[in-house]
Amino acid sequence: MPWRRASDPYVVWLSEVLLQQTRVEQGLPYFERFLAAFPDVRALAAAPEDEVLKRWEGLGYYARARNLQKAARIIVLEHGGQFPERAEDWRRLPGIGRYTAGAIASIAFGEPVPAVDGNVKRVLARVFNIAQCIDDAKTLDRLWSLAETLVQGTRPGDFNQALMELGARICTPRSPRCEACPVQPHCASYAEGLQGKRPVRKPKKAVPHHEVVVAAIRRNGRYLIAKRPGNGLLPGLWEFPAGKCLPGEPHQIALERLAQEALAVEIEVGGMITTTNHAYSHFRTTLTAYRCRYVAGKPEPAEHTQLRWVRRGDFPRYPFHKANHKFMHLL
């Protein structure tokens, strides 16, 4: 992984933010493309937001990209392009939590501070045979205290990365490779045969499911697209207007209601384009996209910040969220 031997705080920061909620194999090509487009903090700070989101397109959790740029602008405009060196100063920047701050400060600047991610939680819970639920605040504080004690040494960045790798490659959630583990002689849960029961987690809640209709509204060879607000789900991305169906509501009625309430226009609903399933972090959806014809009204955004009529050939210029890419090529 190209960031493992990096000491450039910009590269370390980018890799840590990008790999939040993202598998390494998925994130690697994004990391390389993003770094090529924005090679340093000044380039990122100066870029248009749509361009930053376009480079992030398909990766999900888009608030990461927006916070990355917000923090870059603070570093450039308020600190002359100089990066913070201490974890507590990194935490003052947008999108930087305790883990990310600890990872950057220890890897890039050698500060002996812990970085406790999901992998590290699992390793510590097994090594110290912690029977309490690691989702509880008190137990989480204990894990951070343990990590803080362990990281005190001359190479804190290497130590933190080693713990992460141990959890990712050896001390895995299911079927941990205890026979290959370098800390197996010190593992209290292994000694008692409890490694398969650690860590203790809260039961997962049922994931809600929503029926969503999408309107590909066309007028004079152009499609109506909308920009999502800068907060909430998928902030700042463009999309084809969409909305949830009410219980038992037919798709045609839902689309006509959506057009009136969210866009202030009347439409004629045509044929179905496709139906596809899409999962978000806390819910799942079944999306059904329809071809629609603009009939009347002046489009006004009620739930979005901008509306635009664009040709199909212009789609690549806009950062759309992943669900839209599942049917855009069919238009």
What are the residues facing 212 on neighbouring strands? 244, 287
Give the whole-angstrom CA distance, residue 331 versus residue 326.
11
Residue holding tokens 């090594």?
Answer: 127
- Taking CA atoms, 12 is separated from 21, 68, 167, in Å, by 16, 12, 19
Could you tell me the two tokens for 107?
Answer: 């890897």
| Residues, the chain | 331
Give the whole-angstrom CA distance, residue 258 versus residue 233.
18
Q: Give catalytic status of residue 239 as yes or no.
A: no
Residue holding tokens 């909620």?
Answer: 21
Give the whole-angstrom CA distance, residue 135 versus residue 121.
10
- Taking CA atoms, 210 is separated from 254, 282, 288, 292, 331, in Å, by 13, 11, 11, 21, 24
Between strands 284-296 and 209-219, the pairing is parallel
Residue 293 is classified by DSSP as E
Angle, CA 60 vertex, CA 206 and CA 9 arms, to 5°: 125
Which uninterrupted H or E stretch holds 66?
Answer: helix 63-79
Between strands 266-279 and 242-244, the pairing is unpaired
Phi and psi angles of residue 269, each rounded to the nearest 5 degrees, phi first: -80, 130
Burial bucket for residue 78 (CB in 10 Å: 0-12, 13-18, 19+): exposed
Question: Which residues carry out catalysis?
Answer: 16
